[in-house]
Amino acid sequence: MTVGDLLEAGYLKLGAKLKFERPRMGEKHHAEVATNGKVRLSDGQLFRSPSRAAIAAVGGGSFDGWHAWTLDDGRTLDQLRQQLLDEAAKQAAETPSEAEVGNELFTPAGRHAQLKRARELADAGMPQTLTVREFVGWWGALRRGYLITKQIEAELANHSLTTLPSFEKVHFDSTVQLITTAPSEEGGAGEDASPSQLTAENPALDDEDEPETGLTVGNLPSALSEVVSVPPDATYEQAITLMVINDYSQLPVISGRNLRGAVSWKSIARARHAKPDAGFSDAIVPAHEVPYGHDLIDILPALAEFEFVLVRDQTQKIAGIVTASDVAAAYGSLASPFFLIGELDQRLRRIIMRKFELTEVQDQCDRQGQRGISSFDDLSIGDYQRVLENPTLWEKLGWPLDRTVFGKRLGEIRVIRNDLMHFNPDPLPDDTIQKIRNMINLLREYGA
């Protein structure tokens, strides 16, 4: 939601005066609502985000402008925003879709109520805790796809909420807390422009054109699954017993919250080989540590050198350990569907190349020439779908198949493809691989 939405809905008037007071600093800043819902500071600067306007007014820091700016009657922009959200939720509840009947939690109204409750708990210092799987389930989602993630971020921003740790950067069954992004009077973390501003300012892109994202360290199950450690004054017997009974190859050495290094089978063997009466401290070697939100691909050099890395969570506590085998398993789970999608793409392209002229495809997928499709190699799975959904072009195939059913399944596979290209870390539904294989088999039979 934007200030422009409040203006359009009549909750704000053009020229409405806004003020941002900081009593402890002896400051008072003024602004007004300008055309298109922008916030105009007293020096004439225009901002679409009230948070950016607050930062500019102060000259730095980080502020949640929805809570900082108030009207003459004392109401904050956030209070107006909540009124509009309540009204929208009420209207949605009065006309539920067929899919929403009997499933109130997944409706916009039901979700709005859940988020309002979560905000109340966060404000009371009792943040709601749930797994990522349960959380995205509020949106009726089974996985964290790109589009659903952006929707979740935007709706969280509408309630000045965020998750700790970030729901995108941890494993699907890890727990997160819903906390408020609203800062203290003097400001703090809470700049809301990222989710709400991006979704409103930028036109929707074809989901195949969306930026591809990678896995993070926290997406691995072992990254935040607690860690077994030993203190610096431990004995070899203690460390070896812990490694044997847990089938570990290494253990971090931690004193309080301070990481002192790690011991492993290799470091123990080397210490005792060099000096038979070596003390436990002689087996401690340096340990590489990374934050949970670190890109997974960037730790590969460290894994090659150290064979493992230790992971710090959002509180800076050592919370898990990641090994080369963990990374291999993560990327390996993506390999099979990735290669199958590649084969499907090639077969669809060959069929379209043989059956249609390039001009026919261009007219269907790039009539204005804005995308610059100059060869069949420029086509995406979305383009294949557009071509094959055209009744005239479908007839040219001569296949004794139903165009609508075929197109629907191709659309499902396109969604799977986009999830794979965005390296969605969540497990694929059980029937995903079989859907792709069945489509490949169909193309082998009819497209040969």
In this prediction, residue 121 carries a pLDDT of 95
Model pLDDT for residues 228-274, shown as the tens digit of each residue: 999 999 999 999 999 999 999 999 999 988 999 999 999 999 999 99
Residue 291 burial (CB count, 10 A):
15
In the predicted structure, residue 366 carries a pLDDT above the cut 90: no
In this prediction, residue 195 carries a pLDDT of 32
Model pLDDT for residues 404-420, shown as the tens digit of each residue: 999 999 999 998 888 77
In this prediction, residue 66 carries a pLDDT of 93
Name the average pLDDT for the chain.
86
In the predicted structure, residue 192 carries a pLDDT above the cut 60: no
| Helices within 124-175 (DSSP H only) | 132-137, 146-158
Average pLDDT over residues 271-279: 94
In the predicted structure, residue 402 carries a pLDDT above the cut 80: yes
Contacts of 164 (CB under 8 A, 6+ apart): 127, 176, 177, 179, 314
Q: List the chain domain ranges.
A: 3-78, 98-214, 236-324, 327-446
In this prediction, residue 105 carries a pLDDT of 57
Cα→Cα distances 189→51, 69, 122, 193, Å: 11, 16, 15, 12
Lowest-pLDDT range of 69-73, 91-95, 351-355? 91-95
In this prediction, residue 96 carries a pLDDT of 59
Average pLDDT over residues 352-375: 89
pTM of the model: 0.69
In this prediction, residue 184 carries a pLDDT of 44
In the predicted structure, residue 20 carries a pLDDT above the cut 50: yes
Model pLDDT for residues 74-113, shown as the tens digit of each residue: 999 999 999 999 998 888 777 655 545 455 557 888 899 9
Say which residue, 302 or 184, is predicted with more confidence.
302
* The listed CATH number (3.40.50.11540, 3.10.580.10, 3.90.1010.10, 1.10.3720.10) that belongs to domain 236-324: 3.10.580.10
Average pLDDT over residues 303-308: 88
CA dihedral in degrees (231, 234, 236, 241; nearest 10)? -70
In the predicted structure, residue 201 carries a pLDDT above the cut 80: no
Cα gap 427→30, rounded to integer Å = 50
In this prediction, residue 53 carries a pLDDT of 94
- Residue 203 confidence class, pLDDT cut points 50, 70, 90: very low
In this prediction, residue 346 carries a pLDDT of 92
In this prediction, residue 213 carries a pLDDT of 53
In this prediction, residue 421 carries a pLDDT of 76
In this prediction, residue 415 carries a pLDDT of 85
Model pLDDT for residues 421-439, shown as the tens digit of each residue: 776 777 777 788 899 999 9
Q: Which amino acid is at 438?
A: N
In the predicted structure, residue 210 carries a pLDDT above the cut 50: no
Cβ pair 416, 206 in contact under 8 A:
no
In the predicted structure, residue 54 carries a pLDDT above the cut 70: yes
- Among 98, 4, 325, 331, which Cα is nearest to 106's? 98
